Amino acid sequence: MKQQRGHKARLYLTPVQELAADGQGHAARTMWNLIHSWWTMLPKDKRNLGAADEAIRQGRKELPWLAALPAQASQAVLKTYFRAWVNCWERRADAPNFKDRFRSRMAIDIPQGRDLQIVRLNRRWGRMWAPKIGHLYFRWTRDLPVGKRANKLNKVTGARLVKEADGWHVVFRVQHEVPEPAEHTGPSVGVDRGITKPLALSDGTFREHGPWLTEGETKRLRRLEKKSARKRKNRKKGEKISRHLARTYDQIARLRATAKRRAVDWQHKTTTSIADTFSRIGVEDLAVLNMVKSARGTVETPGKNVRQKAGLNRAIAGEAWGRTVTMLEYKAAQRGGIVVKVPAPNTSRRCSACGFITPGSRETQARFVCKADGCGYEENADTNASRNIDHAAGSAVSGRGAGADGQAEKRQPPTQPHAA
């Protein structure tokens, strides 16, 4: 079967090439904004890709700085914009919006793989071609199907240049032909995501990590954030950002990008280990965006414990629960496994040994002691929740909890009970 994957590599540009790439990135962002203004201004019956394509061609003729973006990259911006509307119509994403100069990430598409001219120079370095920029050198960290190794089924189909806090990167779109995976014969597992215990597994083990930044990096980040706050306080409204403040923003962004890279690296290693070991992986179907909403409230009804809720929101966002599930889904599928999402309510309140929900069983945030008559099961609260998730994944438990009167719900016994 065909498998589409992305491979990211660090680019090393000369100052002239970096200037050209920045120009194309700003042109691509401006192209998006122009298409968005043109699209939303026209009546619905006159919106079509043909008219948009003609408008792009005319704009590139009349605006020389817009023509800095290659023609194929301009067409890719239009296709991406239309794809964003399709995702919105199908209720998978919000409507596309204006891209701010400082809040949006610069990106340049190279849609055709044959234009890349990828060559491996030695064990550590590779070279590629970017239109109107030239030959670019990148770190060779994974074998790519190029040269004699490339064919109709194994090839690089395109790439995208993206600028992040630590510089420019290239993301190759790689197509491989892989055999159909055999059915995974490993055991099943439930995974509970949390803050104190990032991942708790139903076999009683945990997957933990330390801080993403060292103590010195954390102090430096705090110092830079205080510095930027002072500079913003002294800046008049509407005044242009000074070079010193822009430099401080860049330093903060680089430290946060370092933390994100370490987090993604840990997630990749951890999810790979779980997907290799277990055949069926149960996870909670969480609405993470709703969980990290602010508790500030309104003027009429102000919220409570706003600072505490903000700290919890930052902790949840730092764990990137959604990215963990995404990694598990495609890695499990590659190995013949499956990820099952189960309803989240009461997974932490139900006893995984007897199946009852009894008020007061969750003694503390970290400890679960069943208060049901004749049970007395005691376990780490996250481990108990992960075992309930595993049971629900195997038996399609609805996960509905106690009623409005607070009475215990009818017992729902596990299909493969764990030893209490």
Residue 248 lies in a domain: yes
Residue 74 carries which side chain, given as an amino acid letter?
S
Q: What pLDDT sits at residue 134?
A: 92
SS3 297: strand
Which strand (E) or helix (H) includes residue 129? strand 125-130
On the CB side of 254, CA atoms within 13 Å amount to: 12
Residue 403 lies in a domain: no
Average pLDDT over residues 389-411: 52
131 shares a domain with 13: yes
User: What band does 299 get if pLDDT is binned at 50, 70 and 90?
Assistant: low
Average pLDDT over all residues of the chain: 84
386 within 8 A of 402, measured Cβ to Cβ: no
Decide if pLDDT at 271 tops 90.
yes
Q: What pLDDT sits at residue 410?
A: 37
239 shares a domain with 138: no
268 within 8 A of 325, measured Cβ to Cβ: no
Decide if pLDDT at 409 tops 50.
no
- Identify which has the larger pLDDT, 257 or 303: 257
Pairing of strands 2-12, 280-284: unpaired
Decide if pLDDT at 297 tops 80.
no
Helices 306-319 and 321-334 meet at what angle, rounded to 10? Answer: 20
Summarised one tens digit per residue, pLDDT across range 11-54 is: 999 999 999 999 999 999 999 998 888 888 888 777 777 788 88
Paired strand residues for 127 = 119, 137
Average pLDDT over residues 267-289: 89
- Tokens of residue 377, six digits: 């099961």
Write down the catalytic residue from 109, 192, 319, 329: 192
Decide if pLDDT at 378 tops 70.
yes
Paired strand residues for 188 = 280
Final residue before a domain boundary, out of 338, 370, 400: 338
Q: What pLDDT sits at residue 353?
A: 80
208 shares a domain with 152: no
18 is catalytic: no
On the CB side of 75, CA atoms within 13 Å amount to: 8
150 shares a domain with 262: no
Least confident range of 67-81, 125-139, 332-346, 402-416: 402-416
Average pLDDT over residues 239-262: 89
Domain that includes residue 79, residue range: 2-177
229 shares a domain with 162: no
Residue 314 lies in a domain: yes
Decide if pLDDT at 340 tops 80.
yes
- In total, how many domains does the chain have? 2
158 shares a domain with 296: no
Average pLDDT over residues 208-217: 91
Decide if pLDDT at 332 tops 80.
yes
Residue 396 lies in a domain: no
- Tokens of residue 143, six digits: 């074998």
SS3 292: coil
Q: Which of 316, 76, 42 is nearest to 196 (CA)?
A: 316
Average pLDDT over residues 93-99: 88
222 shares a domain with 73: no
**CA-to-CA separations, 43 to 52, 58, 286, in angstroms, rounded:** 13, 20, 38
Average pLDDT over residues 288-309: 72
212 shares a domain with 170: no
Token pair 């999402």 in the structure block, residue: 341
Highest mean pLDDT among 203-207, 267-271, 289-293, 356-360: 267-271
296 within 8 A of 307, measured Cβ to Cβ: no
The string over 52-88, giving b where at least 16 C-beta atoms fall within 10 Å of a residue's C-beta and e elsewhere, is beebbeebbeeeeebebbbeebbbbbbebbbebeeee
Residue 138 lies in a domain: yes
Residue 207 carries which side chain, given as an amino acid letter?
R
Final residue before a domain boundary, out of 129, 153, 177: 177
Token pair 């770190």 in the structure block, residue: 139
Write down the catalytic residue from 284, 329, 379, 390: 284
Concatenated DSSP letters of 195-239: SSSSEEETTS-EE----SS-HHHHHHHHHHHHHHHHHHHHSPTTP
Helices 15-41 and 71-89 meet at what angle, rounded to 10? Answer: 50
Q: What pLDDT sits at residue 225?
A: 93
Q: What pLDDT sits at residue 2?
A: 83
Final residue before a domain boundary, out of 319, 338, 357: 338
Highest mean pLDDT among 75-84, 215-224, 327-336: 215-224
Residue 418 lies in a domain: no
Q: How far apart are CA 11 and CA 165, in angstroms?
A: 13
For the chain, the maximum distance between any two Cα atoms, rounded to a whole number of angstroms, is: 81
Which strand (E) or helix (H) includes residue 168? strand 167-177
Q: Which of 202, 164, 197 is nearest to 347 (CA)?
A: 202
Q: What share of the chain is helix, strand, coil (3-state, %, to 5)?
A: 40, 20, 40
Helices 243-277 and 321-334 meet at what angle, rounded to 10? Answer: 40
User: How much of the chain, in percent, has pLDDT values that exceed 70?
Assistant: 92
Residue 311, phi then psi, degrees to nearest 5:
-65, -40
SS3 33: helix
288 shares a domain with 140: no
213 shares a domain with 70: no
Write down the catalytic residue from 109, 319, 329, 382: 382
Q: What pLDDT sits at residue 400?
A: 35
Decide if pLDDT at 60 tops 70.
yes
Decide if pLDDT at 363 tops 50.
yes
244 shares a domain with 111: no
Q: Which of 111, 144, 105 is nearest to 127 (CA)?
A: 144
Decide if pLDDT at 395 tops 80.
no
Average pLDDT over residues 276-282: 90
Where would I find the H helices in 284-380?
288-291, 306-319, 321-334
100 is catalytic: no
Least confident range of 75-79, 150-154, 287-291, 331-335: 287-291
Q: How far apart are CA 295 and CA 310, in angstroms?
A: 8
Summarised one tens digit per residue, pLDDT across range 158-207 is: 999 999 988 999 999 999 888 888 888 888 888 988 888 889 898 888 89
213 shares a domain with 89: no
Residue 408 lies in a domain: no
Residue 402 lies in a domain: no
